Amino acid sequence: MHALTTLTEEESLFQEEISRFAYETITPHVEKMDEEEKLEPTIRDACFEMGLMGIEVPDQYGGSGGSFFMSILAIEAISKVDPAVGVFVDVQNTLVNNIFMNWANDTQKATYFPQLCQSSVGAFCLTEANSGSDAFALASRAEAKGEKWILNGKKVFITNAAEASLFVVFANINPELGYKGITAFLVEKGAAGLELGKKEKKLGIRASSTCEVILNNVEVDTENILGEVGKGYKIAIETLNEGRIGIAAQMLGLAQGAFEGARKYAQERSQFGKTLDQFQSIQFQLSEMATKLEAARLLVYNAARLKCNQQKFVKEAAMAKFMVTQLAEEIASLSLEIYGGYGFIKEYPAEKFYRDVKIGKLYEGTSNLQLQTIFRHI
């Protein structure tokens, strides 16, 4: 096996533990969560109890003291069972916690890290109705008022918003400054003027909440600015670069889950007096999927290793997200076809993986944006 896919003993044990957790704890709730479009509260609590909501956070703050790579392994393992829970863990670790790791001051870390590790879900509030791919065409505004800032605006498509207790909100202090006016603010649930708008009804990852976040004259203390005034664009860009590896891991796990389901079905289903996996056409399909999965894993693990080793990884992260989301969609489709008509009904997981996979090409940078990023770095 290629060296990049070789795990240390600690990483291997961690991966096994999270895989066992996912299959034993999450699997019984997957169908119900998808139908009800809601994360099961016991799953949320279990993720905190397992230390999955603060994997990279240092021990001193109540975190697991692990690595970014371990976060990627966790996202992958969970997404084999349910990509909706995978993205729940992903956003907490690769976006929210990473922002605090890289940009929060000591007081902010001491205040919020213990909460994020033990009970508080975080939400990353960047996207707006007219600033999706053009992420910095923000309409949300922050106006200075003494020692406070007044925030107004509306964010859309905010993952984990329904569960969140802490919102990282990006707003512009002065539209004339363009992206140089964008600033990141910490807003706690319950703040006057902060409310959730509609919860989106989605094609896939339905248990993951996706809501509007509305800011109506929300007061934020100056001490709750993350980084510096005007550095929000830099915070967002660097955080999303890391987050794309998380989405690639989610899609990798999804593809692995779809593949394993199809392989198992092919071993059990009989036609014309023999199981499906005895037909050469099915053997070739499964072999091709396994090969593409290995290639996808190399891309994801390589980007994660580079990030962990503090080497340049932006190009590799974009390549991983672009290629793995392509491969995952193909594998999810082919896996469904191996089930035949059964793949089209909810008795088997194939149709859910097929619905869940599409979002991979869309969020945290569309496939076209990944190609733009790759071109700038080649």
Residues noted as catalytic: 364
- One DSSP character per residue, 223-271 reads GGEESSTT-HHHHHHHHHHHHHHHHHHHHHHHHHHHHHHHHHHHHH-EE
State how far the Cα of 241 lies from the Cα of 210, in Å rounded to an integer: 21
Q: 353 and 254 in contact (C-beta within 8 Å)? A: yes
Do strands 225-226 and 274-275 pair parallel, antiparallel, or not at all (unpaired)? unpaired
Place of tokens 């023999």: 274
Give the span between the Cα atoms of 214 and 212, in whole angstroms: 6
Q: Which of 65, 183, 196, 67 is nearest to 121 (CA)?
A: 196
Residue 328: name the closest of 363, 299, 301, 354 by CA: 354
CB 123 within 8 A of CB 213: yes
- Rounded to whole angstroms, what are the CA distances from 150 to 142, 173, 191? 5, 10, 12
Cβ neighbours of 189 (radius 10 Å): 16
The residue with tokens 């499906």 is: 276
Residues 290 and 259 sit within 8 Å (Cβ to Cβ): yes
Alpha carbon 378 to its chain centroid, in Å, reads: 26
| Rounded-to-integer distance, Cα 193 and Cα 32, Å | 33
Distances (CA, A) of 43 to 55, 161, 196, 300: 17, 16, 22, 26
Residue type, 338: I
Q: What share of the chain is helix, strand, coil (3-state, %, to 5)?
A: 60, 15, 25
